[in-house]
Amino acid sequence: MRIRLAALACLTASTAAAAPIEPLTNYQPWPEPCSLSVDFGSICCGVDGELSQRVRRAVIADKRVTRAFARGWGEEGEFTFCLVTRTRGDARALAARYGAWAKARPNPELTKVAFGRARGP
Protein backbone atom coordinates (compact mmCIF):
# COMPACT_ATOMS: atom_id res chain seq x y z
CA MET A 1 0.00 0.00 0.00
CA ARG A 2 2.81 2.44 0.88
CA ILE A 3 4.53 1.74 -2.40
CA ARG A 4 1.34 2.52 -4.31
CA LEU A 5 0.88 5.82 -2.46
CA ALA A 6 4.50 6.79 -3.09
CA ALA A 7 4.18 5.93 -6.77
CA LEU A 8 0.95 7.93 -7.04
CA ALA A 9 2.57 10.93 -5.35
CA CYS A 10 5.52 10.79 -7.77
CA LEU A 11 3.22 10.46 -10.76
CA THR A 12 1.05 13.37 -9.63
CA ALA A 13 4.09 15.59 -9.03
CA SER A 14 5.63 14.78 -12.41
CA THR A 15 2.44 15.43 -14.39
CA ALA A 16 1.46 18.69 -12.67
CA ALA A 17 1.08 21.49 -15.19
CA ALA A 18 2.34 25.01 -14.68
CA ALA A 19 -0.12 27.58 -13.43
CA PRO A 20 -1.80 29.90 -15.93
CA ILE A 21 -0.45 33.41 -16.33
CA GLU A 22 -2.12 35.76 -13.86
CA PRO A 23 -2.84 39.25 -15.26
CA LEU A 24 -2.02 42.27 -13.10
CA THR A 25 -2.87 45.92 -13.51
CA ASN A 26 0.05 48.28 -14.00
CA TYR A 27 -0.48 49.53 -10.43
CA GLN A 28 -0.27 46.14 -8.73
CA PRO A 29 3.10 45.09 -7.34
CA TRP A 30 4.46 41.68 -8.30
CA PRO A 31 3.01 39.18 -5.77
CA GLU A 32 6.36 37.33 -5.62
CA PRO A 33 9.93 38.12 -6.59
CA CYS A 34 10.55 37.20 -10.21
CA SER A 35 13.08 34.47 -10.94
CA LEU A 36 13.04 35.68 -14.52
CA SER A 37 11.35 38.50 -16.41
CA VAL A 38 10.62 38.92 -20.10
CA ASP A 39 9.87 42.47 -21.33
CA PHE A 40 8.11 42.88 -24.66
CA GLY A 41 8.78 46.41 -25.88
CA SER A 42 7.88 48.41 -28.97
CA ILE A 43 9.30 51.34 -30.88
CA CYS A 44 6.32 52.14 -33.08
CA CYS A 45 3.96 49.35 -33.99
CA GLY A 46 3.31 47.10 -31.01
CA VAL A 47 5.15 44.14 -29.55
CA ASP A 48 6.37 41.08 -31.43
CA GLY A 49 3.07 39.23 -31.25
CA GLU A 50 4.39 35.98 -32.66
CA LEU A 51 7.19 35.80 -30.09
CA SER A 52 4.98 36.86 -27.19
CA GLN A 53 2.47 34.12 -28.03
CA ARG A 54 5.25 31.55 -28.37
CA VAL A 55 6.65 32.48 -24.95
CA ARG A 56 3.13 32.54 -23.43
CA ARG A 57 2.42 29.00 -24.66
CA ALA A 58 5.80 27.78 -23.42
CA VAL A 59 5.32 29.34 -19.97
CA ILE A 60 1.89 27.77 -19.53
CA ALA A 61 3.17 24.33 -20.53
CA ASP A 62 6.47 24.37 -18.62
CA LYS A 63 6.48 22.53 -15.29
CA ARG A 64 9.55 24.47 -14.16
CA VAL A 65 7.40 27.62 -13.87
CA THR A 66 5.49 27.60 -10.57
CA ARG A 67 3.77 30.99 -10.98
CA ALA A 68 3.56 33.47 -13.80
CA PHE A 69 2.28 37.04 -13.95
CA ALA A 70 1.77 39.52 -16.78
CA ARG A 71 1.52 43.29 -16.48
CA GLY A 72 1.05 45.84 -19.26
CA TRP A 73 2.99 49.10 -19.09
CA GLY A 74 2.95 50.77 -22.49
CA GLU A 75 0.67 52.45 -24.96
CA GLU A 76 1.39 49.98 -27.78
CA GLY A 77 0.71 46.75 -25.91
CA GLU A 78 4.08 46.56 -24.16
CA PHE A 79 4.08 44.18 -21.23
CA THR A 80 6.25 42.08 -18.92
CA PHE A 81 6.07 38.46 -17.87
CA CYS A 82 7.29 37.79 -14.33
CA LEU A 83 8.11 34.10 -13.93
CA VAL A 84 8.72 32.25 -10.69
CA THR A 85 10.65 29.03 -11.28
CA ARG A 86 11.37 26.00 -9.13
CA THR A 87 15.14 26.56 -9.11
CA ARG A 88 17.70 29.14 -10.21
CA GLY A 89 18.92 26.61 -12.77
CA ASP A 90 15.42 26.47 -14.24
CA ALA A 91 15.42 30.26 -14.57
CA ARG A 92 18.82 30.14 -16.26
CA ALA A 93 17.65 27.48 -18.74
CA LEU A 94 14.46 29.38 -19.58
CA ALA A 95 16.37 32.65 -20.00
CA ALA A 96 18.68 30.95 -22.50
CA ARG A 97 15.73 29.48 -24.37
CA TYR A 98 13.64 32.67 -24.54
CA GLY A 99 16.72 34.79 -25.24
CA ALA A 100 17.63 32.58 -28.22
CA TRP A 101 14.09 32.89 -29.55
CA ALA A 102 14.27 36.70 -29.23
CA LYS A 103 17.66 36.90 -30.96
CA ALA A 104 16.28 35.00 -33.94
CA ARG A 105 13.53 37.59 -34.50
CA PRO A 106 13.77 40.57 -36.91
CA ASN A 107 13.94 43.11 -34.02
CA PRO A 108 15.64 41.24 -31.16
CA GLU A 109 16.29 44.42 -29.17
CA LEU A 110 12.57 44.80 -28.46
CA THR A 111 12.44 41.75 -26.18
CA LYS A 112 14.55 41.72 -23.00
CA VAL A 113 15.11 38.65 -20.83
CA ALA A 114 16.56 39.21 -17.36
CA PHE A 115 17.05 37.35 -14.08
CA GLY A 116 15.05 38.45 -11.09
CA ARG A 117 14.14 41.91 -12.28
CA ALA A 118 10.90 43.19 -13.68
CA ARG A 119 9.40 46.57 -14.39
CA GLY A 120 7.22 47.66 -11.58
CA PRO A 121 5.63 50.37 -9.54
* DSSP classification of residue 118: -
- Distance set, CA 110 to CA 22, 40, 56 (Å): 23, 6, 16
Q: Provide the residue ranges of all domains of the chain, joining segments of one domain with +.
A: 18-115
DSSP string, 45-101: S---HHHHHHHHHHHHH-TTEEEEEEEE-STTS-EEEEEEESSHHHHHHHHHHHHHH
What is the chain's alpha carbon radius of gyration, rounded to the nearest angstrom?
16
pLDDT at res. 42: 94
Burial of 54 (0-12, 13-18, 19+ CB in 10 A): middle
pLDDT at res. 17: 54
Q: Which fold has domain 18-115?
A: Alpha-Beta Plaits (3.30.70)
The residue among 109, 55, 108, 43 whose CA lies nearest residue 80 is: 55
Q: Which residues contact 54 (CB under 8 A, 6 or more apart)?
A: 101
Q: Is the pTM of this model over 0.85?
A: no
- The list of the chain residues with pLDDT below 70 reads 1-19, 118-121
| Tens digit of each residue's pLDDT (9 = 90 or more) over 88-100 | 999 999 999 999 9
pLDDT at res. 83: 97
Asked whether the beta carbons of 40 and 48 are under 8 A apart, the reply is yes
pLDDT at res. 5: 32
